[in-house]
Structures are given as C-alpha cells and as structure tokens.
C-alpha cells in the first residue's frame, strides 16, 4: 500500500492512484473519527454526575481537570515517546503500540458501558437551532431589558439543558 523504498532519493517511484486514494481515505476517516468523538467526550463525562447531590459540583470540575491533564499527557507522550520509538525501533512498533493501547481503551469502554449513566436526547437540536436563528432575526432591533427576569424563559422546555432549571444569561455576546 506504499511505494517501494528509495534509498538513493533519485528516480524514485511515486505512489500510484490506488495508494493515494487509500492515503486520502485514511485521512478522511481519521478526521471523521476525531470530529465525532472529541465533542462528545466532555458532555458524556459531565453526564456521569448527579448535580442534585451536595458537593458534586467541585468533584465535577476536578474530573474535568484530570481529563484534560491526561489528554495533555497523551499528547506529550505521542509527540515524544512514540516518535522516539518510531525513530529508533521502527514505524511498525511506533504505530503498533498506540494501536494496542487504543484497542485496550475500546475494550475498557465496552465492558464499562453498563455502568455509565446516559441521557436520551430530548428533541431535535436542529429544531432548537432553527428557533434561535428565527428569534434572533425577528428580534434583532429590540433593546435588552435591564433586568434579566424580563427575558423569555420556558422552564419546561429548557429544563434538560439549564442549570437548576434556568438558563444563565450573559451580557458578553451582544
């Protein structure tokens, strides 16, 4: 799936179209996989906590700190240890070790999945997005009230996505 080695760097054989297509398909699959998992991990992690219990909020922030700490350690090891192994042992070991670790993480995820707390999606996110866009266009010329109590609030609809049943309003994005 790759061109033959070229030790002289002269008159080397280029990758053919099937090799290039496999390469580009692999890049697309990597980007789809990364784009599909990264935005979902942090909300999934936050879902594991029952915020109605006392003292949970501080533990929640602590677990996020640990998550991002270990993501940094993983990036550091990928850029140092794995590259060292690739340079000194070979690309097979350099790609093989992360592959084995990834397989172990998949096995841990599958066997741990009965213990995870999951929330079923409530409604369509596209409907909510369309509602926000329509409301923003219709009300673009209105002035904001000084008191946030006078802003629109639908406790029933927003309960699933609000902190303690109420959306937090901010003046940061005017």
In this prediction, residue 55 carries a pLDDT of 64
Cβ proximity of 15 and 23 under 8 Å: yes
Burial 67-102 (b: 16+ CB within 10 A, else e): eeeeeeeeeeeeeeebeebeeeeeeeebeeebeeee
pLDDT digits (tens, 9 = 90+) for 42-94: 878 877 776 666 766 666 677 788 888 998 998 898 889 989 998 999 988 98
pLDDT digits (tens, 9 = 90+) for 121-150: 777 878 888 988 998 898 888 887 777 677
Q: Is residue 6 part of a domain?
A: no
Which of 76, 135, 70 has the alpha carbon at shortest distance from 105? 70
Confidence of residue 3 (pLDDT cuts 50, 70, 90): confident
Among candidate residues 172, 121, 115, the one with its CA nearest the CA of residue 144: 172
The answer on 143 and 111 residing in a single domain is no
Residues 91 and 168 in one domain: no
Last residue of a domain, one of 85, 115, 145: 115
In 3D, which of 45, 26, 24 has the Cα closest to residue 34?
26
For residue 59, the enclosing domain spans 17-115
43 shares a domain with 102: yes
Q: Is residue 7 in a domain?
A: no
Q: Are residues 99 and 21 in the same domain?
A: yes
For residue 160, the model assigns a pLDDT of 63
Rounded Cα–Cα distance for residues 46 and 43 (Å):
5
Q: Are residues 109 and 125 in the same domain?
A: no
User: In this structure, are 47 and 90 located in the same domain?
Assistant: yes
């Amino acid at each position: 799936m790759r061109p033959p080695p070229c030790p002289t760097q002269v008159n080397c054989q280029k990758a053919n179209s099937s090799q290039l297509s496999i390469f580009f398909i692999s890049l697309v699959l990597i980007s789809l996989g990364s784009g599909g998992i990264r935005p979902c991990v942090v909300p999934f992690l936050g879902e594991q906590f029952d915020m109605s219990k006392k003292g949970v909020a501080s533990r929640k922030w602590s677990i996020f700190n640990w998550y991002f700490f270990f993501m940094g350690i993983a990036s550091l090891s990928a850029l140092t240890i794995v590259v060292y192994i690739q340079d000194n042992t070979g690309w097979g070991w350099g790609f093989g070790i992360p592959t084995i670790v990834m397989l172990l993480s998949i096995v841990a995820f599958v066997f741990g999945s009965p213990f995870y707390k999951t929330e079923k999606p409530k409604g369509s996110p596209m409907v909510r997005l369309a509602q926000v866009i329509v409301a923003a266009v219709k009300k673009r010329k209105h002035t904001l009230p000084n008191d946030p109590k006078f802003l629109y609030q639908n406790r029933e609809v927003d309960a699933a996505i609000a902190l303690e049943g109420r959306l937090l309003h901010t003046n940061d994005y005017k």
